[in-house]
């Protein structure tokens, strides 16, 4: 299969599984990726997601150019190809997503990383948006997310040059949270996911919603959203458990209710 989906202990792991093609993404993979993210979102037993690539060479080298370039040239004003909604554009996942970046994350691969909330990179990882070198611009969110996350000069440097940056540079820019040895990448991502699972899953989703939606609101509207979500959580079993655990000086056992 072009994509693997596994769930254990409230953690869903999505693995792009085309290592011989640097985990580039063709139509089949896009469809499976969209379906996997929808499955993750719909499963109440899944609290956190990890996205990674098979093998050690590449997280994802982006779109499979053998498939996409002919369509772009033949039908430049058309739909390019029948893209399903994904987390990069059109699909909402309210649960925290962690990118475990092994090797190359280029073009659409970088854009998957940018659509994740937390990012851990292997020491040899390389990230970039090379579309400009082909006479195009990024098409799955890099122009928008980079400009929102980074200072303008840094974001425009990545997009305008098409050059790759290393993991340490990405860490300095704030694009990734942590850089680890390649042989520790998956364990580090799993450990982070387990840490998040020890927090209240409903609170995590509410926090993500407040932060994501708040970016498109005025401060006053964002504060109102935060207030409303806070009040909603007060009626949950998880909130009662969290307070009780604090008072009893024990670890909370959250259930997502």
Domains of the chain plus CATH, in order, are 3-197 (3.90.226.10), 201-248 (1.10.12)
In the three-class reduction of DSSP (H, G, I as helix; E, B as strand; rest coil), residue 207 is classed as helix
Structure tokens at 167: 């993991």
Which of 32, 41, 131, 149 is flagged as catalytic? 131
Quote the CA–CA distance of 36 and 95 in Å, as a whole number.
Answer: 13
| 11-16 β-sheet, strand order | 3-8, 11-16, 48-53, 97-101, 118-122, 178-180
Sorted by sequence, the CB contacts under 8 Å of residue 31 that are 6+ apart come out as 84
Other beta carbons less than 10 A from residue 82's beta carbon: 9
- Note if 168 is an active site residue: no
The predicted pLDDT at position 245 comes to 85
Which of 41, 111, 241, 248 is flagged as catalytic? 111
Q: What is the pLDDT along the chain (257 residues), one digit of tens a residue?
A: 789 999 999 999 999 999 999 999 888 888 899 999 999 999 999 999 999 999 989 999 988 777 666 666 666 555 555 678 888 788 889 999 999 999 999 999 999 999 999 999 999 999 999 999 988 899 889 999 999 999 999 999 999 999 999 999 999 999 999 999 999 999 999 999 999 999 989 999 999 999 999 999 999 999 999 999 999 999 998 999 888 888 889 888 888 88
Give me the residue label for tokens 């869903």. Answer: 12
Structure tokens at 72: 């772009």
Sorted by sequence, the CB contacts under 8 Å of residue 137 that are 6+ apart come out as 131, 143, 159
- Note if 111 is an active site residue: yes
């Amino acid at each position: 299969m072009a994509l693997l989906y596994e769930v254990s202990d409230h953690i869903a792991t999505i693995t792009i599984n085309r290592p011989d093609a640097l985990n580039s993404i063709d139509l089949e993979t896009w469809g499976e990726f969209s379906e996997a993210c929808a499955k993750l979102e719909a499963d109440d037993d899944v609290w956190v997601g990890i996205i990674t690539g098979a093998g050690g060479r590449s997280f994802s080298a982006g779109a499979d150019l053998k498939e996409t370039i002919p369509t772009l040239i033949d039908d430049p004003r058309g739909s390019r190809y029948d893209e399903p909604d994904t987390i990069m554009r059109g699909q909402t996942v309210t649960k925290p997503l962690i990118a475990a970046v092994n090797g190359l994350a280029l073009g659409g691969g970088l854009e998957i990383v940018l659509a994740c909330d937390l990012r851990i990179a292997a020491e040899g990882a390389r990230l970039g948006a090379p579309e400009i070198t082909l006479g195009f611009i990024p098409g799955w969110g890099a122009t928008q997310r980079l400009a929102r996350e980074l200072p303008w000069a840094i974001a425009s440097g990545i997009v305008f040059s098409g050059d790759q940056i290393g993991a340490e540079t990405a860490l300095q820019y704030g694009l990734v949270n942590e850089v680890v040895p390649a042989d520790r990448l998956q364990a580090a991502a799993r450990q982070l996911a387990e840490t998040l699972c020890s927090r209240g899953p409903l609170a995590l989703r509410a926090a993500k919603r407040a932060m994501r939606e708040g970016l498109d609101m005025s401060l006053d509207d964002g504060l109102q959203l935060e207030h409303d979500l806070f009040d909603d959580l007060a009626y949950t079993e998880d909130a009662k458990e969290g307070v009780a655990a604090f008072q009893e000086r024990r670890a909370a056992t959250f259930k997502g209710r």
